[in-house]
Structures are given as C-alpha cells and as structure tokens.
Amino acid sequence: MRVVEAFRAAYGASPQTVWRAPGRVNLIGEHTDYNDGFVLPFAVPWGVTAALTPRDDDTIRLLSLQSGSGEPVTIPTHADAQGWTRYVVGVLDMLGDKVRGADIAIDGDVPQGAGLSSSAALEVAVASALNDVHALGMTPMELALLSQKAENDFVGMPCGIMDQAASALCEEGKALFLDCRSLGSRTIPLDLASHGLSMLIIDTQVHHEHAGGEYAKRRAECESAARKLGVAALRDVTDLAGALAQLQGDERKRVEHIVTENHRVEALVGLLRAGAVTEIGALLNASHLSLRDLYEVSSPELDLAVEASIRGGARGARMTGGGFGGSAIALVPLERLESVKESVSNAYAERGFKAPRFLPATPAQGAHRLA
Ligand code: GLA
C-alpha cells in the first residue's frame, strides 16, 4: 500500500494502523441536517487513507502524498494549524487529553473541489485510526460527531452532521437514511444497476468564493425563522401554510424549502423501500428547483448540468451538497449515459463554461480498517 510505504520512508517504521474513510454524495435532503431533519447520502468510491502511530509526546508529524514537498510537517498538538492540516489537528484537539501526538501519513483520491466531502473523509479517517490505536471504544456515530465538532469549533465551518455521518456509517450498495435529530439511521439498498440505471456525478469544477459565508447565512436564517415560529428547529414545522403566513422574504422561502425537502426525503425513502427506484427522478428534480428558487444555493453551472442532463435523457437530476458550485447528480438509464454526457458537455461549451468532469457514483463502504 502506497501510504504505508510513504509512512515507513518518512518515519522509519510501519504504522500501527491504517484506516480508510470515503467522501459522499447526497441523494436527497439538502440543508436539512442542521435543521434537525432527514438526509439520504451514500458514500462514494473515493476517500482518504490514514496510516498512523501514536506518539508519547505532544507533537503531530503529518505527511500528505498529495501536498507538495513530500516531507512531513511538524505541528504541536492543540496549536493553530493552516490549510488541510486543520482537519487533522482539529480531530486530535477535540479528543483533548485522551490522546497525545501521532505520526500520520495521508493519501487521498477524492476529486478536489467537487463537493464530495474530502474534508469529512480526512477527519473520519484520522478519528477512526485514533479510536483504534487508543482503544477509545467510540462508535461510528460518536466518531462522526467528534469530526463534526472539529470542523465546527476548530476549522470554523458551521456544518451539520451529514458528511461525517455518511463517511463513518455508510455501507456498500446502500444509502444511509439519517434522522439528524435522534441520530437514528437505517441503511437502504440502492441497487441502481439491476434497474438499468446509474447515478452520474457531474462535477462543475467551479466553486464560488462566497460559499462559506452564504452557508452560515442560510443557517442563521433558519434559526431565526424557527425562533419566530416558536419551534426548536424547522424539523418541527407541521403546518407549512400557517408557518409561511407568519414569515416574510428570504426566511419564508428558506422555511418552504426545508419543510418540503424533509417530505421529499421521506417520499424517496418510501419509493426505494417499495423497489420503485425508477420513480425517484421527479423528487430529485423538485429538490433541485427548491434549492435553486427557494433556498438560493445553486449556481448557473449546476442549473445547466441539471437541465442538460434531463434533455439528454436523465430521469432526474439535482445539485448535491452545500451548493454554490461542486457537483450535480443525475439518475441516468444505462443506455443514455453517453447522450447525457454529450448533452451536458455541449451545453457547457455553448455557454463558455469550463468543461465538466463526469464520475460514476456507486454506493461504497464507509470507514473501515485496512491494516
Ligand atoms: C455541506 C455541509 C453538510 C450539509 C450540506 C447541505 O455539505 O457540510 O452538513 O449541510 O452542506 O445539505
């Protein structure tokens, strides 16, 4: 294994453990996680591998096979960190005095900037490896929560639980239905190929600068609306018309998206459990329109990916993840794959957009030990 060889070359011994954690796409349930709602992600075949040996001092040595120098960087535990190293140092920081330092080598193959949660994969891989070598006995959900806390409190990104939970808990061939309030989850078989279908990821390769600020703004709007409606979270809105009558402007639109999106997740889960996977396309399309018009987190590239893939023969499509760039997913009959790709590529060329990248998304295994 490449990461093990790199670890040995850098630190002069074999790692004590090696863990792999994947990125994710979300089938449906967008921006619902921090509203105590429902999500339905699945893990993608790309992820992060972390080789690790604990140290008995307060030093982290960190090597990435993807970042420039090929030499490990040395960072004191609990110190400020920069760039991608924050996700690792943050996880160690959140574990407090349960751990000291570590020698770590990281290898990753999540396409960068595609919005497939490479940062959650990194956090969960490192958290799982530390849990293993220190025999902390944490469950996958506890590791996801720890990773989310690192991202919220150390990195400063106010994300929900979806990405880390998907990376920690998903199973091969299945989607993960997660209730973000109770944290109860259930895996649901997602066998697209047996229905003559595939899920195509369309990576716009565009990520808009203001995404982080807009994310925090949406979250604040939802919290403000919940306060006005007198509910703990927008998950609790049962009378949508009544709620909308009490709100105005952006908050009104945000609430309409969240409440209807939660219904769409439940409806989609119902279809999957009934074996009606060919019928989910309309829900994907409705989710996209709601994210575009009510939640306002789409982008011209994402909208065009969705429109052009449907013109090319997709059964449904939507942006996936936080938005403002990143990827769309399209549910495509196998025999239409080439025509969908051609339709999207041509539409992008006509508009003068950077060529998109296409990735096949088959539901992969969540975090697991490799060695
Ligand atoms: C990002 C966040 C998640 C979730 C999605 C939107 O991926 O990290 O917690 O809020 O956006 O559904």
> Do 220 and 251 contact (CB within 8 A), yes or no?
no
Three-state secondary structure call for residue 311: helix
> Do 77 and 45 contact (CB within 8 A), yes or no?
no
Split into its structural domains, the chain has a count of 2
Q: Are residues 31 and 173 in the same domain?
A: yes
Cα(34) to ligand 1 centroid in Å equals 8
- Which pLDDT tens digit goes with each residue over 206-235? 987 667 899 999 999 999 999 999 999 999
Residues that are catalytic: 163
pTM of the predicted protein model: 0.97
Look at residue 279 and tell me if it is in a domain: yes
Look at residue 367 and tell me if it is in a domain: no
Which ligand 1 atom is at minimum distance from the Cα of 31?
Answer: 12
- Which pLDDT tens digit goes with each residue over 94-118? 999 999 999 999 999 999 889 999 9
Pocket test for ligand 1, best of 28, 34, 162 (most atoms within 8 A of CB): 162
Three-state secondary structure call for residue 341: helix
> Do 335 and 198 contact (CB within 8 A), yes or no?
no
Cα(143) to ligand 1 centroid in Å equals 17
Look at residue 238 and tell me if it is in a domain: yes
Number of Cβ atoms within 10 Å of the Cβ of 350: 10
Q: Are residues 197 and 320 in the same domain?
A: yes
Domain boundary among 157, 189, 221: 189
Q: Are residues 182 and 132 in the same domain?
A: yes
> The domain containing residue 143 runs over which residues?
2-189
Look at residue 369 and tell me if it is in a domain: no
Domain boundary among 189, 204, 228: 189
> Do 297 and 211 contact (CB within 8 A), yes or no?
no
Residue 141 to residue 262: CA distance in whole angstroms: 21
Cα(275) to ligand 1 centroid in Å equals 27
Question: Domain containing 206 — which CATH number?
Answer: 3.30.70.890
Q: Are residues 208 and 335 in the same domain?
A: yes
Pocket test for ligand 1, best of 35, 42, 159, 208 (most atoms within 8 A of CB): 159
Q: What is the pLDDT of residue 146?
A: 98
Question: Domain containing 79 — which CATH number?
Answer: 3.30.230.10
327, β-bridge pairs: 203, 320
Look at residue 62 and tell me if it is in a domain: yes
Cα(71) to ligand 1 centroid in Å equals 32
Q: Are residues 107 and 204 in the same domain?
A: no
For residue 364, the 8-state DSSP code is B
Domain boundary among 189, 221, 251: 189
Number of residues written out for the chain: 371
Q: Are residues 126 and 27 in the same domain?
A: yes
Q: What is the pLDDT of residue 337?
A: 98
Residue 310 to residue 340: CA distance in whole angstroms: 7
Look at residue 132 and tell me if it is in a domain: yes
Q: Ligand 1, atom 5: nearest CA belongs to which residue?
A: 322
